[in-house]
Amino acid sequence: MILTVTLNAALDITYTVPALTPHASHRVREVRERPGGKGLNVARVLAALGHESVVTGFAGGPVGAVLRDLLAPLAPHDALVPIAGTSRRTLAVVDDASGDTTQLNETGPTVSPAEWAAFLSSYDSLLREARAVALCGSLPPGIHVGAYAQLVRRAHAADVPVLLDTSGEPLRRGIAARPDLVKPNADELARLTGSREPLRAARDARRRGAHTVVASLGPDGVLAATPEGVWQATPPAPVKGNPTGAGDSAVAGLLSGLVDRLPWPERLARAVALSAATVLAPAAGEFDAVAYEDLLPRIAVTERVAAA
Amino acid sequence: MILTVTLNAALDITYTVPALTPHASHRVREVRERPGGKGLNVARVLAALGHESVVTGFAGGPVGAVLRDLLAPLAPHDALVPIAGTSRRTLAVVDDASGDTTQLNETGPTVSPAEWAAFLSSYDSLLREARAVALCGSLPPGIHVGAYAQLVRRAHAADVPVLLDTSGEPLRRGIAARPDLVKPNADELARLTGSREPLRAARDARRRGAHTVVASLGPDGVLAATPEGVWQATPPAPVKGNPTGAGDSAVAGLLSGLVDRLPWPERLARAVALSAATVLAPAAGEFDAVAYEDLLPRIAVTERVAAA
């Protein structure tokens, strides 16, 4: 199975309103709820691709209970660790006419040292069955900023390839523990390295410890700096839609290609096709399976020759 | 005891953000939750004034469970009727710097005919113990627009004085069943009667069936058109603060004065002092007890001589 870790799992709530106006009162037309957090999204896409997937992280309180109830009928297996605090909500307020979205994200529950210890013990057990592990998203309060570095080292000790998808200081610290793969977007990569030139920044991130860096570049696809070479993969044409979850689908594509032992160009094509098919899907965070099959053979992957 | 009915009880959530910007992403600094809906607010103020209060209406699903958990340690007794649907949330997004608030209100659960029948049975039992009843707020989906008229008639049959505080068509229909008291604000009264002149509109509302109309006029206090005469009660000076819940506190003051058999001028003074003390309180929907005691003797109540 493939394990995904979401330390700050969330109940994703979507409100539809005619148009959000600050300091006015709005009647919410439609309320939707889904289990959220990057690792949960990744696990759902992995399951849709035919992989067994297991989600872990933390869930607690009444919001955590709703999250787990909504997760129960879905394909990923629930190995979330219970906590005393209440899981966070994320709220997307969507303007009905334009589709523009205003995002309000709660911080998340404070995790106690005993809960973190319980998680580590569960994580080590799950690693024994895992073919790959993805560490995804922000850290909840109470978790030390070097937590991802600790989880990367434990994955190495268990001989499980590890992908890290986070930002800021947890990314900086996590990279130093030498994960197999990081998948920053252009902004995260620039914040890490100080460079907005993707190839230069990706190489810098490799020097900081990541074996492979796959930078997601939005409509320009992905740029991969690997020990075997540098590739760029781009969709055949720009896709229009909701980019929510596109990065998580790319992570799922990379993990799927890793356990299927695909060569880099095919892995990247899978990641880019899934990402574009997610932008095209009507529901945020889902992917359009027909669009995926259609896009997959049409992703252009070009090797970039390294400068001397 | 005094009974308050909140058919569309809510979990009131407050998010504090630096400033709400449409189509941007926000990290929520603080999350607060309280049991809400007009009748619950009224019951809390009644309890703070020393009255035994009981809340009924509907609660269901995970949001209803949180609402009841938060209500349990408070003074009002919980007689909410369980439903299969999930109670609604209301979300207030407060800009930290200015205090300006953006409101997002969910519609509420659909109530089935069997659940409505269960409520009516419980309501009739509760009326046997009630010295007064207040019917408060909007109707959830599934409840017919004449529901308040039905509840007014049942209160009459049980010989319990009934106050109606709602708006739109439920107010129009409810008034026709001859409630003892309605407490519209200026906008609700104008929508009902077509007149923005408060005295004219209040008299019109009395002709439509309300025995007494107490119109809340914001900083101008209240105007009461009663069978015994017309009074206006005004605070000594304009008060600055958060008006959320000020109308509910006025309802509590009117009910409290009713069961204490106060003459109209004293009832109105109590309502206006509570309302102003609610605007002054730091937390939305609470009232400042010290400010209330200070304001009460300083409310100006003047009788308005009826035009020939």
User: What Rg, from alpha-carbon coordinates, does chain B have?
Assistant: 19
CA–CA distance, A256 with A286 (Å, rounded to integer): 17
Candidates B65, B91, B103; nearest CB to A62: B65
CA–CA distance, A83 with A65 (Å, rounded to integer): 11
Give B187→chain A minimum CA distance, Å. Answer: 15
| φ, ψ of residue A83 in degrees (nearest 5) | -135, 160
Chain A neighbors of B22, CB-CB under 8 A: 20-22, 95, 100, 102
Chain B neighbors of A62, CB-CB under 8 A: 62, 65-66, 69
- B306 versus B77: the higher-pLDDT residue is B77
Whole-number pLDDT of residue B177: 98
Residue A100 one-letter amino acid: D
Q: Do B238 and B219 meet the contact criterion of CB atoms below 8 Å apart?
A: yes
Determine the Cα angle at A141 with ends A135 and A146, to 5°.
50
Q: Do B110 and B85 meet the contact criterion of CB atoms below 8 Å apart?
A: yes
Residue of A nearest to B24 (CA): A102
pLDDT digits (tens, 9 = 90+) for B27-49: 999 999 999 999 999 999 999 99
Chain B neighbors of A25, CB-CB under 8 A: 102-103, 105
Chain B neighbors of A72, CB-CB under 8 A: none
pLDDT of B17 higher than 50: yes
Whole-number pLDDT of residue B308: 36
pLDDT of B130 higher than 60: yes
Whole-number pLDDT of residue A308: 37
Q: Strands B222-226 and B229-234: what pairing?
A: antiparallel
Identify the CATH number of the domain in which residue B252 sits. 3.40.1190.20
- B209 versus A100: the higher-pLDDT residue is B209
And the tokens for A245?
């979850």
Helix or strand (DSSP H, E) at B46: helix B38-48
Whole-number pLDDT of residue A104: 97
pLDDT digits (tens, 9 = 90+) for B220-254: 999 999 999 999 999 999 888 878 889 999 999 99
Q: Is residue A142 part of a domain?
A: yes
Whole-number pLDDT of residue B99: 82
Candidates A23, A103, A104; nearest CB to B101: A23
Residue of B nearest to A24 (CA): B102
pLDDT category at A306 given cuts 50, 70, 90 is low
Q: Do A106 and B62 touch (CB under 8 A)?
A: no
Q: Is residue A14 part of a domain?
A: no
CA–CA distance, B258 with A2 (Å, rounded to integer): 67
Average pLDDT over residues A142-171: 97
Average pLDDT over residues A192-220: 95
Average pLDDT over residues B147-162: 98
| φ, ψ of residue B136 in degrees (nearest 5) | -130, 130
Whole-number pLDDT of residue B254: 98
Q: Do B66 and A62 touch (CB under 8 A)?
A: yes
A252 CB neighbour count, 10 Å cutoff: 31
Q: Do A151 and A123 meet the contact criterion of CB atoms below 8 Å apart?
A: yes
And the tokens for A257?
């290609």
**Active-site choice (B165, B204, B248, B288):** B248
Chain B neighbors of A65, CB-CB under 8 A: 62
Q: Do A22 and B66 touch (CB under 8 A)?
A: no
Range of the domain at B48: 2-304
Average pLDDT over residues A41-65: 97
Residue of B nearest to A30 (CA): B106
B204 is catalytic: no
Percent of chain A with pLDDT over 90: 91
Residue A152 one-letter amino acid: V
Whole-number pLDDT of residue A238: 87
Q: Do A134 and A125 meet the contact criterion of CB atoms below 8 Å apart?
A: no
Number of domains chain B is built from = 1
Q: Do A233 and A298 meet the contact criterion of CB atoms below 8 Å apart?
A: no
Average pLDDT over residues A123-140: 97
The distance between the two most distant Cα atoms of chain B, rounded to a whole number of Å, is 61
User: What Rg, from alpha-carbon coordinates, does chain A have?
Assistant: 19
Whole-number pLDDT of residue B98: 86
Q: Which residues of A46-72 are buried (b: 16+ CB within 10 A; e: fewer)?
A: bbbbebebbbbbbbbbbbbbbbbebbe
Indicate which residues of A carry an active-site annotation. 248
For residue A256, give Cα distances in angstroms to A214, B91, B279. Answer: 14, 39, 58
Which residue, among A8, A28, A66, would best test binding to B if mutated, counting the most B CBs under 10 Å from its CB?
A28
Cα torsion A183, A188, A192, A196: sign: positive
Chain A neighbors of B31, CB-CB under 8 A: 106
CA–CA distance, A35 with A63 (Å, rounded to integer): 10
And the tokens for B271?
């309502």
Whole-number pLDDT of residue A307: 52
Candidates A27, A93, A105; nearest CB to B107: A27
Average pLDDT over residues A44-67: 97
Average pLDDT over residues B143-165: 97
Residue of B nearest to A88 (CA): B31
Percent of chain B with pLDDT over 90: 91
Sort B273 into a burial class: Cβ within 10 Å, 0-12 / 13-18 / 19+. Answer: buried
Nearest CA among B281, B299, B300, B298 for reference residue B48: B281
Task: Report the mean per-residue pLDDT for chain B.
Answer: 95
Residue of A nearest to B98 (CA): A23
Percent of chain B that is helix, strand, coil (3-state, to 5): 40, 25, 35
CA–CA distance, B156 with A154 (Å, rounded to integer): 71
Whole-number pLDDT of residue B286: 83
Q: Where does chain B show beta strands of DSSP type E? A: 2-6, 10-17, 25-27, 30-36, 53-60, 77-78, 81-83, 88-95, 101-105, 132-136, 162-165, 181-182, 212-216, 222-226, 229-234, 300-304
| φ, ψ of residue A148 in degrees (nearest 5) | -65, -35
DSSP-assigned letter for residue A244: T
Q: Is residue A17 part of a domain?
A: no
